[in-house]
Amino acid sequence: MNEQRPSAEAVERILKGWRYFGHPIRPGPAEVAAVEKGIAGIDRPRVLALGATPELIDLAIGLDARRVTAIDWNGNAAEAMRRLAGRDWSGVEMIIADWRERREELAASFDAAVGDGTFTFMGFPDDWRLLFGILRDYIVPGGVVVTRETFRTRERFDFTRRAEEATARFDENGRDLPPEKRLFVFRDMLAYLRMGSVIAAADGTGVVDIAKRRSMCDQLGVELARRYPEGDMAQAVDAIFGKLAKARPIEAVSTASMEEARGVIEEFGFRLESCEPLGDLPLPGAVRSMVVRREED
């Protein structure tokens, strides 16, 4: 998926869908604050963003980072995210590549790596190992890796029931809202269900069954398109569960257990410093801010 030159049409498609991505897919103020807290204490950090997540790159720039480098393998997404930026990204070095490719020129170059869902998009444990092995080279001793991840929970996410409940609640509570606010609430409901589908499609070991997740999401998309057939809400359904969703194809593949994750992290000379829950969505304790500190050599 190494796309070197952005395609204008693909970038436009991503931008078109973007306004329909709500919380918790998009990191909100609490998630951004958790990353800021994770890297606090490092003055003017050199930051590596794993993925072109606009909120995190803007945060690094706002912290007056000495260096901001982002790695994203999707050149179209990277270009779309640059256009969505709230800050001036002219000083951001963007590398279009897979995080799992080791780059000698980045050795000992960063005080912090940040990401939104980075390891949820890596298979556990093999890709986690690969990436922590690489980050050990990139991050200087005392530096941190701060990401938001989805972890395995005891509680199951019953996707069909949750979707029925959420839509019934929306129909009841959203009826009298002004259109802008209504769309906002609708967007967040879609984001909640989309993130819930990751947990719903994970097996007992935390591996996400991608085909199962796609089929669950496709079915819900058809049902929601029938139920909300017009205007912005129909567009939002398309962006999160329909054709437009495929404009920025990203697949969550693992929900690790925290204890197993700790084991892998420690193999590479890092320490799991904290792993605080971030809200209750899609399930309490599922989504956490993971702060991992690189030990001294």
Ligand X SMILES: C[S@@+](CC[C@H](N)C(=O)[O-])C[C@H]1O[C@@H](n2cnc3c(N)ncnc32)[C@H](O)[C@@H]1O
**Shortest distance (Å) from residue 114 CB to ligand X:** 11
* Sheet containing 93-95: order of strands: 93-95, 67-71, 46-50, 110-116, 139-150, 287-294, 270-277
Applying CB under 6 A, among 72, 79, 149, 188 the residue interacting with ligand X is 72
Residue 153: C-alpha distances to residues 23, 210, 283 (Å)? 20, 18, 8
Per the DSSP assignment, residues forming a β-bridge with 291 are 146, 274
**Shortest distance (Å) from residue 72 CB to ligand X:** 4
Closest residue to ligand X, based on beta-carbon distance? 51
Residue 164: C-alpha distances to residues 160, 161, 223, 277 (Å)? 6, 5, 10, 26
Exposed/middle/buried for 119, CB within 10 Å: 0-12, 13-18, 19+?
Answer: buried
Which helix or strand (DSSP H or E) is residue 126 part of?
helix 126-138
Between 53 and 235, CB nearer to ligand X: 53
Site string for ligand X, 101-140 (x = CB under 6 A): ---------------xxx--x-------------------
Residues 214-273 that bind ligand X (CB under 6 A): 250
60 contributes a contact to ligand X by CB under 6 A: no
Residue 187: C-alpha distances to residues 18, 26, 149 (Å)? 11, 11, 21
d(CA 93, CA 73): 14
149 contributes a contact to ligand X by CB under 6 A: no
Between 120 and 153, CB nearer to ligand X: 120
Helix axes 8-18 and 75-84, enclosed angle (nearest 10): 50
- Do the Cβ atoms of 30 and 277 come closer than 8 Å? no
Applying CB under 6 A, among 51, 143, 196, 242 the residue interacting with ligand X is 51
> Which of the ranges 92-100, 136-144, 184-192, 282-290 carries the binding residues for ligand X, by CB under 6 A?
92-100
98 contributes a contact to ligand X by CB under 6 A: yes
For residue 151, the one-letter residue type is F
Between 51 and 143, CB nearer to ligand X: 51
**Shortest distance (Å) from residue 76 CB to ligand X:** 9
CA proximity to 119, closest of 283, 271, 282, 261: 261
CA proximity to 242, closest of 223, 218, 226: 218
Residues 10-39 that bind ligand X (CB under 6 A): 25
Applying CB under 6 A, among 11, 70, 77, 286 the residue interacting with ligand X is 77
State the number of binding residues for ligand X (CB under 6 A). 17
Between 116 and 188, CB nearer to ligand X: 116
Between 22 and 117, CB nearer to ligand X: 117
- Residues in contact with ligand X by the rule CB under 6 A: 25, 51-53, 71-74, 77, 98-100, 116-118, 121, 250
